[in-house]
Amino acid sequence: MINLINDDCLKAMAEMDDCCIDLTVTSPPYDNLRTYKDSLEWGEHVWKPILEQLYRVTKKGGVVVWVVGDATIKGSETGTSFRQALYAVECGFNVETMIWEKTGSGCLGSNKYYGQNFEYMFIFAKGQPKTTNLIKDRENKVKSGTVKVNGGLDKEGKGKTRTVERKPLGKRNNIWRFDTQKNSDHPAPFPSAMVNDHIISWSNEGDTVLDPFMGSGTTGKMAKMNNRDFIGIEKVEEYFKIAQDRISAT
Ligand X SMILES: C[S@@+](CC[C@H](N)C(=O)[O-])C[C@H]1O[C@@H](n2cnc3c(N)ncnc32)[C@H](O)[C@@H]1O
- Sites of contact with ligand X (CB under 6 A): 8-10, 27, 29, 36, 40, 186, 188-190, 213, 215-216, 218, 233-236, 239
Q: Give which of 210, 174, 167 is closest to 194, Cα–Cα.
A: 174
Minimum distance, C-beta of residue 226 to ligand X, in the bound complex (Å) = 16
Minimum distance, C-beta of residue 151 to ligand X, in the bound complex (Å) = 49
Minimum distance, C-beta of residue 2 to ligand X, in the bound complex (Å) = 16
Instruction: Report how far residue 221's alpha carbon sits from residue 191's, in angstroms, rounded to the nearest whole number.
Output: 11
Comparing CB distances to ligand X, the nearer of 6 and 131 is 6
Contacts of 63 (CB under 8 A, 6+ apart): 22, 23, 24, 123, 124, 125, 126, 129, 131, 202, 203
Minimum distance, C-beta of residue 22 to ligand X, in the bound complex (Å) = 18
Instruction: Report how far residue 225's alpha carbon sits from residue 146's, in angstroms, rounded to the nearest whole number.
Output: 42
Comparing CB distances to ligand X, the nearer of 154 and 238 is 238
Using CB positions, name the residue nearest to ligand X. 215
Comparing CB distances to ligand X, the nearer of 131 and 192 is 192
Comparing CB distances to ligand X, the nearer of 28 and 129 is 28
Beta pairing class for 169-170 and 138-139: antiparallel
